[in-house]
Amino acid sequence: MNTRKAKIQVKDLSKHFGELVVLSHMNFDIYDGEFLCVVGPTGCGKTTFCNVVTRLLPSTDGSVTVEDEPVNFKKHNIAFVFQEPSCLPWRTVWDNVKIGLEIKGYSKKDIKDKVSEVLELTGLTKFKDFFPNQISAGMKQRVAIARSFVTEPDMLLMDEPFGQLDTSTRFHIESSLVKLWERKKQTIIFVTHNLEEAVYMSERILVCTPKPTTIKKEVQVGHLPHPRDITDPEFVRIRREVTDLVRWW
Amino acid sequence: MDKRTNQLKTVAYNLLSVAIVALLWTMFAAWQNSPYFPSPAEIWKAFVGLATKGDIEGVSLSAHIWASLVRIFAGFVAACVLGIPLGLAMGLWPKLYNRTRAILEPIRFIPPIAWIPMAIVLLVGFGRYVFLIWLGAFFPIFITTLLSVTRVNPVHVNVAKVFGAKRSYIIRKIVIPSVLPDIATGMRVGLGIAWMCIVAAEMIGGEMVGIGRLILKYAELLRMGEIIVGMLVIGIIGFIMNEIFIMVENRLFRWRSEVSID
């Protein structure tokens, strides 16, 4: 039995677009400081799931609560790493990272301290004065991650953020993300279709069905220590288990 | 090749192309041997005459240029002051545009030149020219601003939204920086149309100064050298203004990706 406190509760969440049912009666809790992965096939509605959870899109039924209150951008500290490139091209790396703090009204000193720290953690200090068009795709995603971590969010949603990166860059950023999470212990919902990525990073995996998307099974991964060895027998077993769940779609 | 060498090479090629055109022109003028096709040397002579002695009424070339520039500036600024905020407002509140498009769109298709008789009857002096330039420059600026707002990347808006940004922040810090390059393009197009309008307006407008008027004065005398001077002055001033605009754009929007098909 899990004794951790549920920070985010998703109850009976459904989303329809006219006749099309995209999300159907999804129920799960996310614990404080947990790294949760949601896996599902491409086109199953993962982005819709993220948008509905953050209320960028209204749900048709059900609720999402953070500490028993409906999600509210102004009240709750939420961050989102989008699937598509989301750096603001007219802002430097530094200005991109600070935007959340700027919106939340932090003092100049706090902004300077926090942005410096997160740039250091993500290895972007040298590039702080660069514009997004001057850095690589992998670095842009690191900027997006730094921007989301800097506000120390209650809920951090990541929608297939590494989908457009090559294997080595992806592996490097995944390791950086895990290190960052271990230090900051943010509550993360990481959405992906990459099963190995899910097993490599998360504490728990929710396996989704194709449309209408619902939770098929929960797989625990938290007992594997970080950094994880992808050839470790337990790692391989879990990956096989998740793959088998996927295979039966 | 470094940037500086590349720039020098571009300037050299441009000077070379000007020299080639001038040479071909000289040869063609010599072959034509007609008072209606002056050579570059004759045009230069006409330019020197206009610049030092003035036109047939004693109005100097600089006075003509100044009169046109002031009119252009006033009309263009008026077009920007009205076109940019109105385009932004209608882009942000599309209902405003949808409910007034039956008025706006038909006016857009009326060429500014068609308004000249009305401007002559209803307005006087300076206001007449400013109105026509405003009319010509307003729509490119207004339409590009309006369309650029609808093309703002929704992900950029969502980035601010999830952090709890207010609408005013999203407009100031996301929408406006996103649309500025498009507005600048609209302004450049508007400036080109402003020049077309001012020349047409000055030809008919009744006042004796302005480059359009200068061209018309010499057209009545069939003196092609001075007419071509007037035309070239418009082209060169327009070119300089455009280059200044591009330099400012490159400086302000240096964050934009440079696209090359080399």
CATH architecture of A78-215+241-247: 3-Layer(aba) Sandwich (3.40)
DSSP-assigned letter for residue B43? H
Instruction: Tell me, rounded to whole angstroms, the distance of Cα A122 from its chain centroid.
Output: 16
pLDDT reading at A165 higher than 80: no
- The residue of chain A with its CA nearest to that of B255 is A90
> A58: exposed, middle or buried (C-beta count within 10 Å: 0-12, 13-18, 19+)?
exposed
Buried b (16+ CB within 10 A) or exposed e, B124-135: eeeebbbbbbbb
User: Exposure of B5 by Cβ count < 10 A (0-12 exposed, 13-18 middle, 19+ buried)?
Assistant: exposed
The answer for residues whose C-beta is within 8 angstroms of residue A166's C-beta and 6 or more apart is A138
Give the dihedral of Cα atoms B159, B164, B167, B171; nearest 10 deg. -40
The pLDDT, as a whole number, for residue A249 is: 47
Token pair in block for residue A65: 């609560």
Alpha helices in B151-210 (DSSP H): 154-162, 167-169, 176-204
- Tell me the residue ranges of DSSP E strands in chain B: none
List phi, psi (to 5°) of B24: -60, -40
The Cα-based distances of A53 to A10, A23, A161, B226 in angstroms read: 8, 11, 17, 72
B159: nearest CB among A99, A132, A133: A99
Burial of A147 (0-12, 13-18, 19+ CB in 10 A): buried
CA-only gyration radius of chain A, Å = 18
CB-based contact A4:A34 (threshold 8 Å) = yes
Are A210 and A191 in contact, with CB atoms under 8 Å apart?
A: no
Handedness of CA A136, A143, A82, A235 (dihedral sign): positive
DSSP letter (8 states) at residue A14: E
Give the model's pLDDT for residue B119: 85
Give B156's contacts in chain A (Cβ within 8 Å).
Answer: 86, 88
The predicted structure's pLDDT at residue B207: 79
Locate A17 and state its tokens.
């677009």
With bands split at pLDDT 50, 70 and 90, how would you rate the model's confidence at A84?
confident
CB–CB of B158 and A74 under 8 A? no
Identify the helix (H) or strand (E) that includes residue A63.
strand A61-66
A contact set with B (CB within 8 A): 54, 56, 73-75, 78-80, 82, 84-86, 88-91, 99-100, 103-104, 131-133, 147, 151
pLDDT at A34: 92
Can you read off the two tokens belonging to residue A63?
A: 């609720």
Which residues have CB under 8 Å from B170's CB, separation 6+?
B157, B160, B161
Q: Please judge whether B256 and A89 are an interchain contact, meaning their C-beta atoms are less than 8 angstroms apart.
A: yes
CA angle, A137 as apex, A221 and A38 as ends, to 5°?
25
User: Which CATH superfamily hosts domain B35-252?
Assistant: MetI-like (1.10.3720.10)
* Distance between start and end Cα atoms, chain B: 14
Of A221, A163, A172, A169, residue with least CA distance to A193: A163
| Closest in B155, B160, B178 to A84, CB measured | B155
Chain A to chain B, count of Cβ pairs less than 8 Å apart?
62
pLDDT value for B257: 61
- A219, containing H or E segment: strand A215-220
CB contact under 8 A, B255 and A73: no
Question: CB B159 to CB A82 under 8 A?
Answer: yes
Nearest CA in chain B to A74: B164
> To which H or E segment does residue A29 belong?
strand A20-31
Q: Amino acid identity, residue A207?
A: V
Q: Which of A58, A38, A21 is nearest to A215 (CA)?
A: A38
d(CA A104, CA A77): 9
CA distance B160 to chain A (A): 7
CB A184 within 8 A of CB A149: yes
Best residue in B153, B155, B162 for a mutation probing chain A (most A CBs within 10 Å) = B162
Greater confidence (A173 vs A112) lies with A112
CA B99 to chain centre: 30
Closest Cα in chain B, distance from residue A92 (Å): 8
State the Cα–Cα distance between residues B157 and B161, nearest whole angstrom.
6
* CB within 8 Å: A80 and B253: no
The C-alpha angle A119, A120, A125, rounded to 5 degrees, equals 65
> What is the Cα B117 distance to its own chain's centre?
22
Contacts of B250 (CB under 8 A, 6+ apart): none
Distance from CA of A234 to the nearest CA of B (A): 37
What pLDDT, in 10s, does the model give residues A129-144?
999 999 988 889 889 9
pLDDT tens-digit series, residues B10-60: 899 999 999 999 999 999 999 988 888 899 999 999 999 999 998 888 899
Whole-number Å distance between alpha carbons of A195 and B64: 74
Each residue's pLDDT, cut to its tens digit, for chain B (262 residues) gives 677 888 889 899 999 999 999 999 999 999 988 888 899 999 999 999 999 998 888 899 999 999 999 999 999 999 999 999 999 999 999 999 999 999 999 998 998 888 888 888 888 888 888 999 999 999 999 999 999 999 999 999 999 999 999 999 999 999 999 999 999 999 999 999 998 888 888 877 777 899 999 999 999 888 999 999 999 999 999 999 999 988 898 888 888 765 444 4
B255/A82 CB distance under 8 A: no
Whether the CB-CB separation of A49 and A191 falls below 8 Å is answered with yes
- pLDDT, residue B7, reads 85
Q: Is B79:B137 a contact under the CB 8 Å cutoff?
A: yes
Q: Which of B163, B165, B177 sits opposite A151 (nearest CB)?
A: B163
Contact state of B257 with A56 under an 8 Å Cβ cutoff: no
pLDDT of residue B262: 47
The reported pLDDT for the residue numbered A55 is 84
Query: With contact defined as beta carbons under 8 Å apart, do A154 and A76 qualify?
Result: yes
Q: Which of A88, A131, A151 to substitute to test the interface with B, most B CBs within 10 Å?
A: A88
**Within a 10 A sphere around the Cβ of A229, how many other Cβ atoms?**
12
Mean pLDDT for chain A overall: 88
Q: Chain A partners of B253 at a C-beta cutoff of 8 Å?
A: 90
Which residues of chain B approach chain A closer than 8 Å at the C-beta? Answer: 155-156, 158-165, 169, 173-174, 177-178, 180, 253-258
Complex ipTM > 0.95: no
Query: Which residues of A fall within a CB distance of 8 Å from B169?
Result: 103
Chain centre to alpha carbon of residue B150: 25
